[in-house]
């Protein structure tokens, strides 16, 4: 009986250790929250009103940066998938999963804000423009990733298949990124280009607008995805610890 009590001590201590928040994560979360507040102020207050589109153009400061945040997260999936295939270490599969979930969320933000912008500008919530279609395909592709994981019971097989799928799926992200440059029939604006002459669309960016955009790019493109992925990795690690504790308790 005494031996059983001694063996149960680590089981009781382990969850408390796992539940402690890393100081770096707390600091990063606070910094991200403050940065989001600053970014919203820059977008909604500091930036001047665009002369052609009016106030609806302000959504662009979230719409564009959120796509780059999704790109970063999906790139993390490629790294995680590749490293898992090489090392077979579960931590890399957890990174890949976190990248897909966070990237999918940010891509949905990109689609939603784009639709809100399109309603007053194009007089429609949606049109099968090449850029919009490729963005929708990208989202559906990563939704299918999650369905693939849910449909495979064997953990090793699930991780292996998901790693390969996650690496191949990045092609839809790249296509969405470059399609406005290779399809002349797109009506989607391309306000950023190699030179002012290369830019397309009815955007008249003032210095305050450029500042607001450059402020929100690192917030949505770096801070938000990194913070959310870290939280998602932590959550997945806690779930795996709980599952292992359940198995150990059932074996006793």
DSSP SS3 for 198: coil
Q: For the chain, what are the domain ranges?
A: 59-199+209-251
pLDDT of amino acid 137: 94
CA pair distance 179, 195, nearest whole angstrom: 18
Rg (CA), the chain: 22
pLDDT of amino acid 50: 79
Over residues 9-23, the pLDDT tens digits come to 343 334 455 567 889
pLDDT of amino acid 204: 66
pLDDT of amino acid 123: 86
Q: Which residues pair with 110 in a beta bridge?
A: none
pLDDT of amino acid 15: 47
pTM comes to 0.84
pLDDT of amino acid 18: 53
Residues 6+ apart with CB under 8 A from 39: 61, 215, 216, 219, 220
Per-residue tens of pLDDT for the chain, all 252 residues: 434 443 343 433 344 555 678 899 999 999 999 999 999 999 999 988 877 888 888 999 999 999 999 999 999 999 999 999 999 999 999 999 999 999 999 999 999 999 998 888 888 888 888 888 899 999 999 999 999 999 998 999 999 999 999 999 999 999 988 887 776 666 666 655 444 344 444 556 788 888 999 999 999 999 999 999 999 999 999 988 887 787 788 876
Phi-psi region of 201 (alpha: psi -120 to 50; beta: other; left: phi over 0): left
Query: Phi and psi dihedrals of 93, rounded to 5?
Result: -65, -35
pLDDT of amino acid 203: 57
CA pair distance 172, 161, nearest whole angstrom: 18
pLDDT of amino acid 143: 97
């Amino acid at each position: 009986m005494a031996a059983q009590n001694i063996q149960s001590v680590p089981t009781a201590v382990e969850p408390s250790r796992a539940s402690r928040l890393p100081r770096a994560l707390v600091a990063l979360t606070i910094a991200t929250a403050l940065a989001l507040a600053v970014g919203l102020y820059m977008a909604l207050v500091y930036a001047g009103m665009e002369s052609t589109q009016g106030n609806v153009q302000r959504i662009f400061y979230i719409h564009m940066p959120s796509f780059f945040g999704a790109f970063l997260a999906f790139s993390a999936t490629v790294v995680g998938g590749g490293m898992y295939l090489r090392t077979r270490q579960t931590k890399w599969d957890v990174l890949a999963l976190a990248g897909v979930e966070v990237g999918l969320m940010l891509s949905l933000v990109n689609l939603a804000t784009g639709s809100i912008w399109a309603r007053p500008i194009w007089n429609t919530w949606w049109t099968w423009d090449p850029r919009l279609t490729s963005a929708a395909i990208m989202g559906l592709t990563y939704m299918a990733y999650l369905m693939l994981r849910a449909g495979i019971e064997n953990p090793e097989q699930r991780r292996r298949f998901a790693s390969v799928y996650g690496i191949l799926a990045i092609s839809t992200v790249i296509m969405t990124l470059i399609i406005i440059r290779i399809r002349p029939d797109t009506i989607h604006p391309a306000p950023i280009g190699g030179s002012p002459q290369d830019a397309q669309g009815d955007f008249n960016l003032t210095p305050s607008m450029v500042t607001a955009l450059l402020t929100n790019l690192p917030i949505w493109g770096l801070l938000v995805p990194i913070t959310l992925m870290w939280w998602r990795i932590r959550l997945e690690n806690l779930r795996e610890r709980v599952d292992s504790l359940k198995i150990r308790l059932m074996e006793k």
